[in-house]
Amino acid sequence: MSKLNKKTVALHNLGCKVNAYETEAMQQMLTEAGFQIVDFSEKADIYIINTCTVTNMADRKSRQMLHRAKKQNPEGIVVAAGCYVQTKKEEALLDPAVDIVIGNNKKHELLHILKEYEEENRKLESVLPIECTKEYENLKVTEPKEHTRAFIKVQDGCNQFCSYCIIPYARGRVRSRGISDILKETKELADHGYQEIVLTGIHLSSYGTDSGDRLLHLIEETARIPGIKRIRLGSLEPRIITKEFADALSGIEKICPHFHLSLQSGCDATLARMNRKYTTKEYEASCNILREYFEHPAITTDVIVGFPGESEEEFLQTRKFLERIHFYEMHVFKYSMRRGTKAAEMRGQIPEPVKAGRSEDLIALGEKMSQEFREYYIGSEAEILIEEPFVLNGETYYGGYTKEYVKAAVKSEADISNTFVRGKITKGLSNGVYLAER
């Protein structure tokens, strides 16, 4: 590819697991074309920043990384890709730090766009009107950075339009990846030695709604691939959890009983303002179904505190609901106003100190529930997929995760990375890691 393939490239990812997958896909694309990948902190010929726009702060961080890249090498080519430029194309084009702007669904054309820039030496933009896009962008990663667990993007876009969320405007409508393409990537990952995969997407529960397929069918087909021993699922909507769905999943031995069910609030009035499509009663029913079909499943969630109009009473309703459900892990976020969303125009914006106090309260609650969940396994046998070694008090341990995503470790002088080990969980080691004795 002319002189370009002798150049150095540094990539930086901002945002979600889908963004991370796409960044790895671009890196693999560049490596296969002969580019030399270097760390983002180094001077490079080309910088690629896969941006995020989920909050105003994400926009700001995206701009900061673009400016940092140009500062590191003023002569370098700076590429702004992804969600921030999809929603703020004109702003990105006016930014003197940016040379190339690539929106969502155009990242697969990265090599062609770089070649065009080399030939024309002028600012380039390649941004589709994403709301009109019906095609799934085929990117693939067969050699992920992680050595034991691989993420596979199976879906893009979202049709939910929650009142606080800009993502449908950045990612467009639901588009599902063809099942044969997913299975081909999964087989390649298995051939490379990966034993655990995570099916992920912008709105995973919508997989197949645009193509007549179903998420359950995809899971069943993926489970048939030899070499893959574990399948995890990305974030799910509570409404997908029916008795039929849970019953079918419980019959798939490779499924990890680790379910991330997005909640956001434990108060029905707040959920309505958020334009979430379920009630707390329906959410709790989904959790109960999972607990009916799986023994002690790990249920994790996201919670937003300080949403516009959230009174102290509404917050306390949420807190009581969280205690009742008793999650394994909670990701607590302070509501962050996002320009361009309905929530940004709502009355009753909550002062920052109030949001901070509520956030601290729920984080402490989450840590308590998480510890209680993990301690349930003390005295029981567990199977751990070993990831990597670490040294504690002068002794070598190899750590990994159980199917429920509880981190455990065994003592070992031999390298046992990417192997399954069975052991009895006996006690906590440190920072949420538990000792398993063989």
Binned average pLDDT, 10 residues per bin, the chain of 438 residues: 76 96 97 96 97 94 98 97 96 97 97 95 93 92 86 97 96 97 97 97 98 97 98 97 98 98 98 98 98 98 98 98 98 94 96 98 98 97 96 93 98 95 94 94
Report CA-CA distances (Å) from 315 to 21, 332, 427.
35, 13, 35
Give the DSSP letter string of 266-333.
S-HHHHHHHT-S--HHHHHHHHHHHHHHSSS-EEEEEEEES-TT--HHHHHHHHHHHHHH--SEEEEE
Q: What angle do CA 227, 237, 142 make, to 5 degrees?
A: 30
- Spatial neighbors of 389 by CB under 8 A, at least 6 apart, are 396, 397, 398, 399, 412, 415, 417
Two structure tokens written together for 437: 């004795």
pLDDT in tens, 113-155: 999 999 998 999 999 999 888 999 999 999 887 778 999 999 9
Stretch (H or E) spanning 352? helix 352-375
The pLDDT assigned to 99 comes to 98
SS3 call for 124: strand
The pLDDT assigned to 2 comes to 54
Contact predicate 167/130, CB 8 Å: no
Q: For residue 12, count other CB atoms closer than 10 A to its CB.
A: 18
- Spatial neighbors of 188 by CB under 8 A, at least 6 apart, are 140, 142
pLDDT in tens, 373-387: 999 999 999 999 999
Given CA atoms 380, 386, 391, 397 in this order, what sign does their dihedral have? positive
